[in-house]
Amino acid sequence: MSHGEAAAPKSITTRIVQAAALIVVFAVLLIATRLVPEKQSVVGTVAGLGFLLLAGTLTSELMEIAGLPHVSGYILAGLVAGPDVLSLIDDSTLGGLAPVNALALALIALAGGAELEIGMLRSSARSIAWSTALQHAIIPIIAFGAFLLLARFTPFARLDTMSLVGVALLWGVISATRSPAALLAIIAQVRPAGPLTTFSVAFVMLSDVVCVILAALVIAFVRPLFDPVAALSFEDLKHLGFEMVGSVALGACLGMGLGAYLKLIGRNRLVVLLAIGFSLSELLRYIQFDALLSFLVAGFAVRNFTDQGPKLLEAIERTGAVVFVIFFAVAGAKVDLGLLRSVGIVALALCAVRGVGSVVIAKYSSKVAGDPPVLRKWGWSSLVSQAGLSIGLTVVIGRAFPGIATEFTTLSLACITINQLIGPIAFKLGLDRSGESGQAVHQEGATVTPLSQR
């Protein structure tokens, strides 16, 4: 999330050194895992974290040669090191990294909320309103239809008609989710500024809130389709209201508390953020509040209701590269190649339908909203990625409907993996082609204020 000066192009010698260093890093850990196959859990976790940070960073640098985003390098490094390729990082190590990954997601959500300024939302209100309404109304319907058409090629073919309709409705919710993490990772790398950047940040952050509410509503209404004896329970709706209100209220309190701390004390900001990220993530999970929504609201509150937004962003930006490497390298290491092979064709078809639908709807909503040409052409580019929220909702759906949990999780993770690989490339392409990359630090040779500090 750093917004410093744009880095100069790397020389061929530098690239060769980076490639050699990457090979050495993989070779060293490969030898270590063969010599000491049984690692103590703590040592294995720390070593795995260090390896992912180093390998992810080096791989991301090499991705620049092909014009690919750093995120692709993080994912690729994790994939190669993961259990399905070289097995340098095993499942137990990935489990040990879960709290670190939760911390990364908390900091990403905080930064996402802090990027949202009320003035920015007002300036893009028409575009955001049309896009939010159409994307979240039409994409679930398109995904619902595509799922029913392809159902006979999936393990869900065994279900009765009503249950199959229920699964298709749940699939529509997953298809509507986007990825704030991928969005912010690309913004941190290319330092963009302009209408596409502003719109993408506002839409994707708001989309998360809408999808969390939509998912809870659909789960409540779908439950009777799986169990005819069950009726629509107002308790489910009451729980939804409690969760949403509680998450927003806790986030607002956290934001005002952070603002007060930054104003009155302001020391050890990074330590405070790490402590809050670790402890509150676990607390929110325990009390069944939405951690992503709470941290998003906290960042928004600091940015818009205190004068401490720049301090918060500065503290988070110090962890920027580390946060994104951890989050996406761990995601890459968790990719199940066997799973992809088993449902790959269906997953590709579902992803293609979602992607084409998102592009068409984005172009139509931009036309209706009277957006500038850059949004009409590239407004869709930030809508492909899926990551943390999509995985989180998949887990929630699996818990709510254990009878379809394995099959639903398998297909969902396959599609998320595909979109996670394609999405960051699409958004970077959009920013590059629209001319917004680098505009947060250079514009006609002069330094300008970046999006996160305007």
Task: For residue range 282-310, list pLDDT tens digits in order.
Answer: 788 777 777 778 888 898 899 899 888 88
Q: Please tell me the predicted confidence (pLDDT) of residue 451.
A: 46
Residue of 319, 322, 339 lying closest to 330 (CA atoms): 322
The conformation of residue 289, written as its DSSP 8-state character, comes to: -
Domain membership of residue 291 as a residue range: 100-453
- Read off the pLDDT band of 253 (50, 70, 90): very high
Residue 46 belongs to some domain of the structure: no
449 pLDDT above the threshold of 70: no
- CB distance 204 to 180 below 8 Å: yes
- Read off the pLDDT band of 343 (50, 70, 90): confident
Residue 66 belongs to some domain of the structure: no
pTM above 0.95, yes or no: no
**Following DSSP, what letter does each residue of 133-199 receive, concatenated?**
HHHHHHHHHHHHHHHHHHGGGSGGGGS-HHHHHHHHHHHHHHHT---HHHHHHHHHHH---SHHHHH
138 pLDDT above the threshold of 90: yes
Q: Please tell me the predicted confidence (pLDDT) of residue 44.
A: 62
Residue 82 belongs to some domain of the structure: no
Output the six-digit token pair for 149: 């058409």
Q: Please tell me the predicted confidence (pLDDT) of residue 113.
A: 83
Residue 358 belongs to some domain of the structure: yes
- Return d(Cα 76, Cα 405) in angstroms, integer: 27
CATH of the domain at 362: 1.20.1530.20
Q: Please tell me the predicted confidence (pLDDT) of residue 226.
A: 79
Beta strand extents in 27-88 (DSSP E only): none
Residue 300 belongs to some domain of the structure: yes
C-alpha to C-alpha distances, 358 to 98, 168, 412, nearest whole angstrom: 31, 18, 18
67 pLDDT above the threshold of 60: yes
- Return d(Cα 371, Cα 194) in angstroms, integer: 13
**Residue 415 vs residue 315, higher pLDDT:** 415
Residue 42 belongs to some domain of the structure: no
- Please compute the mean of the pLDDT values over residues 318-333 and round it to a whole number: 77
Q: Please tell me the predicted confidence (pLDDT) of residue 454.
A: 40
Residue of 5, 393, 436 lying closest to 207 (CA atoms): 393
- Read off the pLDDT band of 157 (50, 70, 90): confident
Residue 146 belongs to some domain of the structure: yes
Q: Please tell me the predicted confidence (pLDDT) of residue 440.
A: 63
- Read off the pLDDT band of 279 (50, 70, 90): confident
- Please compute the mean of the pLDDT values over residues 318-340 and round it to a whole number: 76
Q: Please tell me the predicted confidence (pLDDT) of residue 2.
A: 42
> What integer best gives the mean pLDDT of the chain?
81
**Residue 114 vs residue 335, higher pLDDT:** 114
- Return d(Cα 72, Cα 192) in angstroms, integer: 18
- What total number of domains does the chain contain? 1
3-state secondary structure of 159: coil
435 pLDDT above the threshold of 70: yes
Q: Please tell me the predicted confidence (pLDDT) of residue 380.
A: 94
- Read off the pLDDT band of 143 (50, 70, 90): very high
Residue 73 belongs to some domain of the structure: no
Q: Please tell me the predicted confidence (pLDDT) of residue 13.
A: 82
Output the six-digit token pair for 79: 């994939």
Q: Whose structure tokens read 């575009």?
A: 127
- Please compute the mean of the pLDDT values over residues 401-408 and round it to a whole number: 84
Q: Whose structure tokens read 């940070």?
A: 53
- Read off the pLDDT band of 320 (50, 70, 90): low
